Structure 1
Amino acid sequence: MFAALINMQIVEPISRKLIRLGKLYLNVLARHTEHLDLKRYHFILSLIYYHDGQLTQNALAQILDKDKSAMVSIINLLSAKGFVYRDSNPHDKREHLLRVTEKAKIAVPQIVETFEHINSDITKGITAREMKIFESVLQKMQLNIKPLQPNPNQKIAK
């Protein structure tokens, strides 16, 4: 058995490569937007801005594939920073619609412009065809991994 371990090759998980790229991207984004007093959740704020007053927390959680409690924490943070607020849904008083503040209306166009610049910079030398392939591969991987995720209602055999 020890001999088999010696001949084993190290395999880097794809997730590690994606996480490394994600961290680098977010570090660049944070550096370029530090004047906005927002260290993360730039994309989520952009989504709320785009759908201003049309999304509930639950709808946003579904779009982002995040659990409800995580979404509440994110919205609370964005609210505490003065970027968003909850407004009662006139059609359903149990729901709250997410709206952006004036602060967000100034910040989000800067965030989107920063996304565009970073995306342009990191895709230099990559053709539009290669980007389509990259995005297609990511989508296929996401579809392939979904059935591998554990069912929260299923007990794990030991």
Structure 2
Amino acid sequence: MMLMNNLSIIVRHSKVFCEHRLHDYGVGFPEQVILMYLSSNNVVNQDAIAQYFMLDKGAIAKTLRKLEEKGLIKRLQNPENKRENLISIAQEGQNILGEMGKALNEWNQYFFEGLSDLEIRQYENITKKIADNVAKLNEKTVTDLKAEGQRTK
């Protein structure tokens, strides 16, 4: 239980820090997270974003709309599927990524303060394993629920 409490505290502090650092740009934490995702995934559709963050499409659509209104992302119709929009970062969004990178570097300095390089690597390896484990659990849960649904039909 203490692990979940500590993780929750870290996430809340991270959110406050990031929102404060990018306040002048008018970019909230959910928008920052999506911009970071887009920066490493180039061109994606809304479904890919929703699936990655395990959020409903409506929440993603709302955040994407805000990003588009601010000129931070571009939506282009998929030539292979006219009902689908492909989303990428606009030049203004690229500019904000630079500021986000600076904020992340500052956060990491405080986050890892007092830890050795070995401890940082261990932390990163452990949290990666935990993330993989819970992702597998959720995949299994979804698969089990789908199978259960098929049996009850």
TM-score with structure 1 setting the length? 0.74
| Aligned position for 2:37 | 47
On the 8 A contact 1:55/1:97 being kept in 2, the answer is: yes
On the 8 A contact 1:46/1:112 being kept in 2, the answer is: no
Runs of 4+ in 1 over 4 A off after TM superposition: 148-155
Measured in 2, the distance between the counterparts of 1:124 and 1:101 equals 34
Q: Which amino acid aligns with 1:47?
A: Y
Alpha carbon RMSD of aligned pairs, Å?
2.5
Query: After superposition, where does 1:1-158 map in structure 2 within 5 Å?
Result: 12-41=1-30, 42-52=32-42, 54-145=43-134, 146-147=136-137, 151=142, 152-153=145-146
Measured in 2, the distance between the counterparts of 1:132 and 1:13 equals 22
Measure how far apart 1:150 and its partner are: 5.0
Residue identity over aligned pairs, in percent, reads 19
Runs of at least 5 residues in structure 2 that lack an aligned partner in the other structure: none
Measure how far apart 1:69 and its partner are: 3.1
Measure how far apart 1:34 and its partner are: 0.8
Measure how far apart 1:21 and its partner are: 0.7
Measured in 2, the distance between the counterparts of 1:48 and 1:73 equals 16
- Kindly provide the CA deviation profile for residues 32-63 of structure 1, in whole angstroms up to 9, marking residues without a partner as x: 111110121213112224444x2111222333
* C-alpha spacing 1:65/1:131, structure 2 compared with 1 (3 Å): farther
Runs of at least 5 residues in structure 1 that lack an aligned partner in the other structure: 1-11
Measured in 2, the distance between the counterparts of 1:128 and 1:90 equals 47
* C-alpha spacing 1:121/1:82, structure 2 compared with 1 (3 Å): same
More helix by share: 2
